[in-house]
Homo-oligomer: A and B are copies of this chain.
């Protein structure tokens, strides 16, 4: 197995380009068999939501996602791993978060991307505030217990290194 890859982690206000991130990971090489991407988008909640405002903890956001990504690289035989999380005001239909995982085999790419998303949800220091279309502040989004449970399922899981 080649040396563990160094994950790419970016926290930014600007949008990202999924195809460009895949290209950066795969271009100039022919040893990657599978690329899984996850894009998280801002939903309009049936027209109720005007925008999400994403607050984050600068410094720790990069560090914490970096720690999660480093664990993913340890657990699965990856050839590339990228995580990008936006902050600031995000309108419905826009991108919030992107994960790209590349591997020789598909299950490793699927599992690593899924793992990264579960941990991002429950450990990355970001907070969402809703702004409603009627002009009111919708308040801070409550954390979901389901997200903590989703993250905890990886504690027992034995990674498949196939």
A residues lining the B interface (CB < 8 Å): 17-19, 22, 26, 29-44, 46, 92-93, 104, 106-107, 109-110, 113-114, 117, 146, 150, 162
Contacts and interface: CB of A to CB of B under 8 A. Distances in A.
Given A110-B113, A114-B110, A34 B41 contact: yes
B40 A33 contact: yes
Contact of A106 (B17, B26, B40): B40
A41 B41 CA distance: 26
Counting every copy of the chain, the complex holds 2
Contact of A43 (B32, B107, B113): B32
Contacts of A35: 37-39, 41
Nearest to A105: B146
A52 B88 CA distance: 45
A39 B34 CA distance: 6
A43 B33 contact: yes
